[in-house]
Structure formats: C-alpha cells, structure tokens
Amino acid sequence: MTNNPLLDFSSLPRFDAIQPDHVAPAIAELLGRYQTLIDELTARPDTPTWDGFAAPITDMGEQLGRAWGIVGHLHSVNDVPAWRDAYNATLPDITRFYSTLGQNLALFAKYKALRDSTEYGRLSAARQRILDNEVRDFRLSGAELPEDRKPRFKEIQEELAALSTKFSENLLDATNAFAEYVTDASLLAGLPEDSIEAAREAAQRDDRDGWKFTLHMPSYLPVMQYADSRALRERMYRAYATRASEFGEPARDNSPLIDRILALRAEESRMLGFASFAELSMVPKMADSPDQVMDFLRDLARRARPHAQRDLDELRAFARNEFGLDDLQPWDMAWVSEKLRVQRYAFSEQEVKQYFPEHKVLEGLFRVVEGLYGVSIKPDSAPVWHPDVRFFRIERDGERGRELVGQFYLDLYARDTKRGGAWMDEAITRRSVAGGVQTPVAYLNCNFPSPVGGKPATFTHDDVITLFHETGHGLHHLLTRVDDLPVSGIHGVEWDAVELPSQFMENFCWEWDVLSGMTAHIDTGAALPRALYDKMIAARNFQSGMQTLRQIEFALFDLRLHHDFSPGQGKSMLQMLEEVRDEVAVVRPPAWNRFPHSFSHIFAGGYAAGYYSYKWAEVLSADAFEAFEEARGIAGTVLDTATGRRFWDEILAVGGSRPALESFKAFRGREPRPDALLRHSGMVETA
C-alpha cells in the first residue's frame, strides 16, 4: 500500500488519515525492514560500535514502536470492531518478532561485544546504561536458553500477549453489556442533578424512556455514593463486582484467562531459572526481592491497620445509629461514607464538584506546571481521533527565543469505545536526530463525565487528582533532557519508581495557593471558599486507613499470586485472595465478588508482580514533595521555582539514564524515608 500514513514518521500521527486497513501492510513492511537490518548488522565480522550498530537499531526500533504505538492507542481509545480486529490480527506477528529478537544470540553477542569493547568506557553514562540494560534484557528474554527451548519460550510470549488483550476486551465488553434502565423517578432520590441529566440523555440515545445507568465510572460512582435506593445500589454493585466472571456471558468470563496467564508466567520464569514470576519481575526494579517487598507491605499494613479498624468501627456505628443499618453491606459503604463525611465535615463531594469546571481545572493545572518549571502551555492543533480530544504545546525561553519542549493530546471523557481508567502513553519520544532534537509527544487519557445539559463538564476533587497524576507521568515523558531514546523520559526507569512523578503531582491538589486559583462555581462563578477548602483539608484523611489497607491488599495479592501460587494445585486464586484478606483486610466483600476478573493492572497492564509500585513510589513522592513544603517556609508557596527546577534537573530531566535511587538522592540529598507518607496519610500518632 502506497502512502500508508502509519509509515509517515515526519511529524505527528495522522489520525485524520489512519484506517484499520493500514495496519497489516505497515507493520509487515516495518518488521521486514527491521529483520533485514538485524541480519546485515549481525553478519558483519568487525567489532560493533555505537554509531555503526546501536544507533541504527534504535532508529529502526523507534519506527516500529511508533507505528505499533498508534495502533495500540487507537485500540484503547476507539475499540470499535474494525480496530479491534486490525489490532488482534497483527498482535501475534509483533509478539513473535520481539520474542525472536530477544533470543537472537548473534544480536546478543554484538551487544556484549560492544559493552566489552574499549569504546564502552568512552560512552556517556546514559549510553553505558543502555548497553547494560540491553544485555540484562536479552537474558530475561531467553537469549541464553538452549536452542530446543526457545520455540516454547516464544509460544509463551505470543499466548500471553493474546490473553492480556482478550482480558481487557472481555472487561470492556462486560462493562458495556450492562445497563440499568430506571423509569420510577423515586429511585433517583439523592442523586446529583448532573448525574440524573446524564442518565436521561443516555436513555434518550437508546430511544428509551426514563434514565440509563451503566458501569462506566461517571455513571456508576454517583449511584454508589448518592442514590438513596439501597436496591438500586445493590443491583449496580453486584453487576460491577461480577464483571467478566462466570456469573455473566461465558464468552466474556476471564476466569480461564487468569489461570492460563498465571501458569504461563510461572513456566516462563522457571525456564529462565527463577523460582517465581515475582522473582523474575524484580530484576529490573528498585526492589531487591519479593520478600523485601512483602516486608515493606506488611510493615505498612501493621501501621495502617489500627487506623483502618477505627475507620470501619466509626462507619458501622454511624450506619446503625443514623440509618438503622445493622448489616452494613459493600453497596452501602460509599453511600454511608458520604453521609458521614457530610455530617462530620459539613460538606459533600457533590458540593465541591460545582467549583471545578473543566476550563478552570485546566487553567490551574497549567499554572502549576508553568510556575514550577518556568514553561508555558498553549493550545495547539493536530489531527485527533475524536472531536473531544484537544492538543497542547509546552514552550520555554531558549537562546533563540521560544523553544518547543513537547506536545500532548488530552482525551478527558469516558466513552463506550474507550477502555476504563486513566493513563499516559507516549506518541513520540525525545531523542537526537539528524536535524537536531526530536521533541516528545504524549497522550493523556482519562474517563471523566462529559458536559451535560449545555454546561461545561465539572470534575470531582478525585478527578482533579487523577488529572494531576496522569500529567505527572506526562511531564516525566515530556520534560526529559536525555537524547538517547532507550533511557529518554520514562524509558529505562525502574517500574517501581515510575509512579514517583505522577504521585508527586497529586500533592498540589491539596494546596490553597493552587486550588484557590483553579475554581469557579458552575452557576455563580465564585471561587472555592476558604471555609470549604478548610473542610476538605480536615477530611483529607477521611478513611485513609481503610484506603491504605485496600491498596496493600491488592499489592500483596498480586505479589503472592506471582510468587507462591500455582493454578490448579491445591488452593484456588480466590482462596489465595481470602488468605491475603485474613492477613491485612478489615473490610470483606461478598463471596461472589470477582475483583480479580477486572484487575487489569496485573492481567492486561504492566503491573504483574508490580502493583506494590504505587505504595513503594508513594514513599518517594511524599518525601520529594516534602522538599516543596520545606521551601514554602522560605518562599511562602509550594510553587517554588527553585525547588521545581531542581526536581526537573534531578528527577524528570534524567529519565532512565541513571538508577532512580541515585536521582532521588541527588534531589533530596539522602535516602528516602516513609515519614512524609505517614504524615500525609494522617497515620502518625500524636501524643
């Protein structure tokens, strides 16, 4: 196919031209080019050099990565049948190619020869790290396996890629398959007006009377938090908690996929000489071993448990005394918690939401970034995949006037064809090219409620935190100054450190000098009152004990699942989950809850045996933010440019060009400590 837009790397992705039928020919051509290059480079008898060997492989790898990245992105944000088919048809070819690449002994030998050559000592620290990582990754990809074992290893990679994709698709399809149509207006009691209006518009789109509620977050969460109808909450909770399980359509049941994924990961690990997949996964991470991580999680659970038990006891007493609920059920938790919050702190999340219209939130977010790093963010134009998507550029003052730092797409709203959650992904990575430096481009994706009733979209404070979180990932990608692609931006950063910049950004959502400038009431235009902000701060750690234990439960379940569990041998996965809950949980969901069947992070994302990274990196991010709190004592604001520049220089700018712990110590001047996290979470006992 001529003029295939997926093969055009001259500028931004051509979303106005790319079609599903472009995928197969473009990827086939790139795979062919890549293989030809590898054959040529490995056939050369001379000692490899950086410019003659590593650089051309990076160039070719980037082209394939960019093209396939666009395909994967469109599969995530526009999961219509044609794109799903195009993605799935080509996924085996991509997976097979990378599996073969990782086991290519000739290529492995060239990388080792370059690393062992005299040139290695003359290379920059970033390039030395790239070569070290390559040699490590070849070993983890099975390059040193006996030849007769390599085909099986490749089969495992291909099947795992297909299973992960299927897991994600099953979850999206199961989420979309459920709808609760309400025609009795009395069942809407307690729900916010914008949620009712959105449900009415959704029903109209289906040519139905009344109101339509779905399992997508903008529809589901308000029901669980505000609907006074206990029966409605229970129906919604049961549907949500059993998605993609044996309780629904058999074709969408993730049960067999989970067992198969775990069995294949265990087999892969044994082939490489590791006792478990968790051990294998730790090799490129900050943490040393699964036992070290388990000790970390259990210590945190020990500290959090008294606070969590107090949270639950208070909630149960309140439910009993105020509503006569002696049997507090999971579908009551969010509703009763919101009532308790209102009684204790005299405000509701819905009240706060009215102060966060989308345009003010974006203005405030951009002001934080501009204030910290001395850059400016401006609207820009580019082809997009949906009319709601916007595009921005980041600039800074340079020697020759304004310089482009990077650009990003912003896709904020939930859609039926978009996978759930929020995420950042890369479109283009910074690197040196013939004409200078290639500037990076990022995708920022959320699933927030879209505008209803002619008014701008309004966001909850949790939504605002999510947006800041994903922007933190984006800045890690966009503000890098590393010019070698394999360690530029988020590339090469240890997985358990990659959440540092994102969780760091969340802290600014609690600062008055940030929030006061990013609010305007949707009806009156009034800024967030200081009195309401003070109530938000007082409530910041409301139920933080329970929330902390919930995260630890997920992390410990993930780790044990990948360390000391074997599908079909003795206990089941759900029994393993109950063991973890016996150890750390204070809240127990019903026996029919199928949380693992929607645990995309570990079965369809990159967090297998790595979900602990959120808590691990939270220690780093809270400690890093403490530097800005210390600066406030001098500068009068956490938006301290001098500290911001240091954070940029030592954390964001260096990407994966050095170990994350070194970067942290360069910024803080010492090893990380958990004190700030415990203080921020309200889990420091006061005398």
Active site residues: 470
| Numbers of helices and strands, H then E, in the chain | 26, 9
Residue type, 248: G
Residue 575: how many other CB atoms lie within 10 Å: 10
β-strand 423-428 against 401-413: which pairing, if any? unpaired
Token digits of residue 477 = 């990608």
User: How many angstroms separate the CA atoms of 296 and 302, rounded?
Assistant: 10
Sign, CA dihedral 654-656-662-664, equals positive
User: How many angstroms separate the CA atoms of 388 and 112, rounded?
Assistant: 48
Which residues on neighbouring strands pair with residue 448, listed in sequence order?
413
Name the phi and psi angles at 13, rounded to 5: -55, 140
Q: What is the number of residues in the chain? A: 687
User: How many angstroms separate the CA atoms of 361 and 519, rounded?
Assistant: 7
User: How many angstroms separate the CA atoms of 137 and 156, rounded?
Assistant: 17
Dihedral angle of Cα 219, 223, 225, 229, to the nearest 10 degrees: 180
Short-list 601, 646, 613, CA closest to 500: 613
What's the Cα-to-Cα distance from 534 to each of 47, 295, 462, 541, rounded to whole Å?
66, 36, 17, 13
User: How many angstroms separate the CA atoms of 152 and 200, rounded?
Assistant: 53
Short-list 411, 383, 381, 380, CA closest to 15: 383
Cα diameter, the chain: 82
**Residues 10 and 438: beta-carbon distance below 8 Å:** no
Q: Which residues contact 150 (CB under 8 A, 6 or more apart)?
A: 103, 142
Q: Residue 568: is it exposed, middle or buried by C-beta count within 10 angstroms (0-12/13-18/19+)?
A: exposed
Give how far the C-alpha of residue 192 lies from the chain's centroid of Cα atoms, to the nearest Å.
29
User: How many angstroms separate the CA atoms of 426 and 165, rounded?
Assistant: 19
Buried b (16+ CB within 10 A) or exposed e, 139-151: bbbbbebeeeebe
Short-list 76, 77, 82, CA closest to 21: 82
Short-list 191, 544, 514, 540, CA closest to 345: 540
